Structure 1
Amino acid sequence: MTDSVPAAPAPPTSSTVRVSDRFVTYLHQVCASTQARAALRRGLGLPVQRCTYMHRYLVPWLRDHDDAHQADVRRAYYAVASLIAARPRSARDSAPAPDPALPWYERPNLGASLGQAVAQGVLKENSAESALHLMARQSSDAVHPYLPALTRQLLAGGITLDWAVLLEDLAWWNRSRDRIATRWLESYFRTATHTTEPSDPAEENAR
């Protein structure tokens, strides 16, 4: 008996829920099937052209345009699908889903997740910072193959990833790399170091 695989719905048109959040919800449903999860996992770190087993699940979500940006978007969708499918069992069974009701700018990006990993002792500080600085200098062609091992390490350590935020960041990486990398780094340092505002010297002298 084969697993029942839900059909891929058309991308939503609602203005209140981001397409990326709907896509991630769909992927979690699809990955309940062992068959689908195995097919999606085969695309880990690979370009879309080598992900033939994933097409049946993802094509309905993508535009049929052959320009450079749509190619980046397509690869981001395939990458995140394979990363979600490859989650360790502990992450599939117990990790809480990020709250999509939060304002977008308050949701954790990859930098925040790495900062949380450092704060909780899952990653060493120099390893996390090196990973961020390395990715900040790379095109998406170099970033994508780097993500499977990194995200698996985070998930195995109990760190939550907001897949919808990662999806959109990857989709825009080649066009807005400096902006996205800066946001990742800022989120990392805020989360890893628990930085507080410096004291006012006048207040210190008044004590």
Structure 2
Amino acid sequence: MTDSVPAASAAPPAKPVRVSDRFVAYVHRVCASTQTRAALRRGLGLPVERCNYMHRYLVPWLRDHDDQHHGDVRRAYYAVASLIAARPRSARDTTPDDSAPVSWYERCNLGDLLGQAVAKGVMKANSAESALHLMARQSSDAIHPGLPGLIRQLQSGGITVDWAVLLEDLAWWNRSRDRIATRWLESYFRTAAGTTDPAPLDSVTENDR
């Protein structure tokens, strides 16, 4: 009687790639061309209506979005494409990390990035906190013009931006500003303090209160 060979376990289904991640990968690819990178960079901080040189590269990514929120989504795509194109050379030479955590909320949002900047001495804590609290009160139209300078400061300090997370947060900002701003602030204070695993509330003793 021969030993039976156990059946090979089925591989887990591949996790679908988010549209935002595919878009970011696309922008990285086309930015290999100096001409394309220059065209996309011309849109830094500008409304879509003043980004005529970007349309040929980005319009195909926006055709499926509904009209009601199309403006917010479109501006987010254009903003992130221009920010990627405007990366300093040190950041352009860095290969994007495709091994993102399974959970979307484990990925670095803008609050995490500012927290890293404070922890590394790239920014002062009062400057980072002021920037976050100001953005939490603003519409996306007010946030976009200030992003190029802030992102350049982070990247010049060696902080790696998760562009897909920034893209989705910007696209949803006007609809879910309070939720996103709260997530940014929570992430900032965890990261700036150097802890991502604080003690649960029910573990606090009477002497700690």
- Short-chain TM bin: 0.7 to 0.9
1:35 corresponds to: 35
| Percent of aligned pairs sharing the same letter | 77
1:123-157 Cα deviation digits (max 9, x unpaired): 10000000000000000000000100000000000
CA shift in 2, pair 1:98/1:178, >3 Å:
farther
Residue 42 of structure 1 deviates from its aligned partner by 0.2
Normalising by the residue count of structure 2, what TM-score does the alignment of the two structures yield? 0.85
In the aligned structure 1, how far is the partner of 2:68 from the partner of 2:141? 13
CA shift in 2, pair 1:16/1:98, >3 Å:
closer
Runs of 5+ consecutive residues of structure 1 not aligned to the other structure: 1-13
Contact 1:72 1:174 in 2 (8 A): yes
Contact 1:76 1:171 in 2 (8 A): yes
Contact 1:63 1:70 in 2 (8 A): no
Runs of 5+ consecutive residues of structure 2 not aligned to the other structure: 1-13
Once superposed, what is the RMSD of the aligned Cα atoms?
2.1
Q: How many aligned residue pairs are there? A: 191
Residue 63 of structure 1 deviates from its aligned partner by 2.0
In the aligned structure 1, how far is the partner of 2:114 from the partner of 2:187? 9
Q: Which has the greater radius of gyration?
A: 2
Normalising by the residue count of structure 1, what TM-score does the alignment of the two structures yield? 0.86
1:18-69 Cα deviation digits (max 9, x unpaired): 0000000000001111000000000000000000000010001002667341
Residue 99 of structure 1 deviates from its aligned partner by 3.1
The alignment status of 1:87 with 2:91, answered yes or no, reads no
The alignment status of 1:197 with 2:199, answered yes or no, reads yes
In the aligned structure 2, how far is the partner of 1:179 from the partner of 1:105? 13
1:147-199 Cα deviation digits (max 9, x unpaired): 00000000000001100000000000000000000000000000001243287
In the aligned structure 1, how far is the partner of 2:19 from the partner of 2:113? 22
Contact 1:135 1:143 in 2 (8 A): yes
CA shift in 2, pair 1:95/1:150, >3 Å:
farther
Runs of 4+ in structure 1 displaced over 4 angstroms? none
